[in-house]
C-alpha cells in the first residue's frame, strides 16, 4: 500500500541519509523514472512566481545537475546534515500521495564548526515504482534564500 | 486504538505543518473541545512556579489568543519552521495518553535569513475525540525564554 | 520482531528524551549488558583513525563516564535538547540491526539563550535483550568538533 507510514518515513530517512553521506547515485535512485525536482524560495511559491533556484524536469537533467554540484563541492569542502521532521500526509489519490515534511540542513566546515544552513519544506508527490516509493515530483520550498553558496548543496 | 504510533506521529506532523502554513483554524481543530494550552519556561516548570508566558484554559481563550497573535504578526513578518523530533510515549492510561516530543523552531525574515528561534519540549495529554486524536492539555516547555518577540509566535 | 519500525522510533525518542531530562540511569538502561559507546569526529571515522573523544567498551566504563559528566555539569549549568531525525535502516542481520539517525543538539544557558551545540550521525547496532531493543554498539559521529565544553555533554 502506497500510503504505508513506515515506508514513507523510510523514504525520507533515506533521502537525508544518502545526501549527507554523498551517495548521489543512491539519492537519484529515490526518484521515479519520470520526475521533476524544483528548489525555490517559499516566497516565490506563495506569489505564484515560477522561477526556481533549481528546476529539473527530467531525470537526465537531474543527473547532470547533481554531477555539477558534486564537481563544485570539490572546492567548497563541507559536510551537510539533514534533520527532517515528521512527514505529513496531504493527499492520497490512490496511485499517488502528496506528502509534506519540514527540514533543517546544517553545514559543518573543515574546522568542525557547524551552522544552520537552511530550513524549508518538502512538498512531494510520491508514487510506487520498481517495488518502492519514489519521488515523482519534489519541490523544495526554502525559507532561507540569502545563502551565497546555496546552489552548491543539494537539498 | 489511541496509542497507535502512526496516528500520534501524524498528529505532531499536522501540528507543526498547520502552524507553519499559518492555518490557525486547522491548528485549533487539533485541540479537544475542553482543552488547555500553556507555554512556560522550562525553568519555571522545574521549580514548580505556575507562571506561564501563555495560559489558555479553554478553547475560547485559545481562539482569542491565536487571533491576537495573527493580528500582531501583520507587523512582524516572518516564517516559522517547526522541526519536531520523535514523539515519546510517557504514559498510557487507556482513554488518555501522555506524550513528550522535542522541537526546534526556526524563523526566517523577509530577507531570507533563517535563525534558530526556540527549542523546547511538548508535554501533552492526548485523547480520542470526534474520530481523531486531540490535545486535551498541551504544555510547551521552553528552553529559550530570552526572545523579545516571543509572544507573537505560536509554538 | 527486532526490525519493528515503531520500536526503533521509540528507542530513539527515549534516547534523546532521557538525556535531555538528565535521567542518566534510564539512559544507561537503553544499552545492552555488553555494549560499546564511542563519540568521534566524523573526519576521523572517514579516514579510519581510531581516536575518539569518548570510548567506552563496557557498560561499567560507560557508567563511570556518565557519572563524571554528571559531576562536571554541576559547574556548567545548561539544558540540552536533542532533535533526532528519522532513523534509517542500514542492515538487518536477524538478531542484530544497523540503524543510522541524524541529530542536532541545542544547548540553552541560564539566561534562556539557545544555541546549536552539535550535529552528527548515530551509527548503531541494536539487539533485542531483556524484552526490549538495546544499543549493542553506539557510535556518535560528530560533524561539530570545535566545541570547548564538548566532553561535558552526553550526545
- Chain A hits for C43, Cβ within 8 Å: 112
Q: Identify which has the larger pLDDT, C61 or C78.
A: C61
Tens of pLDDT, residue by residue over B118-134, are: 999 999 999 999 889 99
Q: What pLDDT is recorded for position C1?
A: 56
Q: Which residues contact C150 (CB under 8 A, 6 or more apart)?
A: C53, C118
Q: What pLDDT is recorded for position A11?
A: 96
Spell out the long-range contacts of C87-95 with Cβ–Cβ below 8 A and sequence spacing 24 or more.
C87/A13, C87/C8, C87/C9, C87/C12, C88/A10, C88/A13, C88/A14, C88/A16, C88/A17, C89/A10, C89/A13, C89/C3, C89/C8, C90/C123, C92/C2, C92/C3, C94/C2, C95/C2, C95/C127, C95/C128
A4 touches chain B (CB under 8 A): no
Largest CA-CA distance found in chain B, in angstroms, rounded: 48
- pLDDT tens string, chain A, 155 residues long: the values are 577 888 999 999 999 999 999 899 999 999 999 999 999 998 888 888 877 788 899 999 999 988 887 777 777 788 999 999 999 999 999 899 999 999 999 999 988 999 999 999 999 999 999 889 999 999 999 999 877 655 667 89
Q: With beta carbons less than 8 A apart as the criterion, state whether B39 and B54 touch.
A: yes
Q: With beta carbons less than 8 A apart as the criterion, state whether B126 and C122 touch.
A: no
Q: What is d(CA B3, CA B96) in angstroms, rounded to the nearest whole number? A: 9
- Compare CB distances from A116 to C86, C116, C143 and report the shortest one's residue: C116
Q: What pLDDT is recorded for position A58?
A: 94
Residue C102 pLDDT > 70: yes
pTM above 0.90, yes or no: yes
A42 touches chain B (CB under 8 A): yes
Nearest to A124 by CA among A153, A88, A95, A148: A88
Q: Give the angle B125-B60-B155 at the CA atoms, nearest 5°.
A: 55
Interface test with B, best of C8, C106, C113, C122 (most B CBs within 10 A): C106
Separation in Å, CA of A147 to nearest CA in chain C: 18
Most confident of A52-61, B142-151, C84-93: C84-93
B148 confidence band (pLDDT: 50, 70, 90): low
Q: With beta carbons less than 8 A apart as the criterion, state whether A79 and A107 touch.
A: yes
Q: What pLDDT is recorded for position B47?
A: 86
Q: Identify which has the larger pLDDT, C154 or A27.
A: A27
Give the SS3 label for residue C59: helix
Mean per-residue pLDDT, B61-80: 84
- Chain A hits for B108, Cβ within 8 Å: 42, 119, 143-144
Q: What pLDDT is recorded for position B43?
A: 84
Average pLDDT, chain C: 90
Q: Which chains touch B (3 or more CB pairs under 8 A)?
A: A, C
Q: With beta carbons less than 8 A apart as the criterion, state whether B20 and A100 touch.
A: no
- HEC string for B83-112: EECCCEEEEECCCEEEEEEEEEEEEECCCC
User: Is residue B70 within a helix (H) or strand (E), and if so which, with residue range?
Assistant: helix B59-72
Separation in Å, CA of A60 to nearest CA in chain B: 30
B145 touches chain C (CB under 8 A): yes
What is the Cβ-side half-sphere exposure of residue C52, based on CA atoms within 13 angstroms?
Answer: 15
Which residue carries 482543552 as its cell? B35
Q: With beta carbons less than 8 A apart as the criterion, state whether B53 and B40 touch.
A: yes
Q: What is d(CA A9, CA B8) in angstroms, rounded to the nearest whole number? A: 14
Tens of pLDDT, residue by residue over C2-49, are: 778 889 999 999 999 999 998 999 999 999 999 999 999 988 888 888
Separation in Å, CA of C50 to nearest CA in chain B: 31
Query: What are the backbone dihedrals phi and psi of residue A12, each rounded to the nearest 5 degrees, phi first?
Result: -75, -35
Q: What pLDDT is recorded for position B151?
A: 61
Q: Which residues contact A113 (CB under 8 A, 6 or more apart)?
A: C144, C146
Q: Per DSSP, what are the bridge partners of residue C6?
A: none
| CA dihedral of residues B91, B97, B98, B104 (deg, nearest 10) | 130
Separation in Å, CA of C60 to nearest CA in chain A: 30
User: Is residue B141 within a helix (H) or strand (E), and if so which, with residue range?
Assistant: strand B132-142
Residue B74 pLDDT > 80: no
Beta strand pairing call for C132-142 and C31-41: parallel
Give the SS3 label for residue B32: strand
Mean per-residue pLDDT, C106-131: 94
- Chain C hits for B45, Cβ within 8 Å: none
Mean per-residue pLDDT, C83-106: 96
Residue C93 pLDDT > 80: yes
Q: Which chains touch A (3 or more CB pairs under 8 A)?
A: B, C
Dump the DSSP string for A99-150: EEEEEEEEEE-TTS-EEEEEEEEEEEEEEEETTEEEEEEEEEEES----TTG
B84 touches chain A (CB under 8 A): yes
Residue B83 pLDDT > 60: yes
Amino acid at each position: 500500500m502506497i500510503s504505508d507510514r513506515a515506508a514513507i518515513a523510510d523514504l525520507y530517512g533515506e533521502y537525508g541519509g544518502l545526501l549527507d553521506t554523498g551517495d548521489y547515485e543512491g539519492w537519484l535512485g529515490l526518484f521515479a523514472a519520470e520526475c521533476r525536482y524544483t528548489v525555490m524560495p517559499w516566497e516565490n511559491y506563495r506569489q505564484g512566481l515560477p522561477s526556481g533556484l533549481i528546476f529539473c524536469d527530467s531525470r537526465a537533467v537531474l543527473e547532470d545537475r547533481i554531477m555539477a554540484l558534486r564537481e563544485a563541492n570539490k572546492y567548497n569542502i563541507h559536510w551537510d546534515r539533514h534533520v527532517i521532521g515528521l512527514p505529513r500526509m496531504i493527499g492520497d489519490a490512490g496511485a499517488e500521495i502528496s506528502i509534506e515534511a519540514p527540514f533543517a540542513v546544517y553545514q559543518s566546515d573543515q574546522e568542525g564548526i557547524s551552522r544552520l544552513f537552511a530550513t524549508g519544506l518538502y512538498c512531494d508527490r510520491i508514487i510506487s515504482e520498481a517495488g518502492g516509493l519514489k519521488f515523482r515530483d519534489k519541490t523544495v520550498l526554502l525559507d532561507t534564500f540569502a545563502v551565497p553558496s546555496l546552489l552548491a548543496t543539494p537539498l
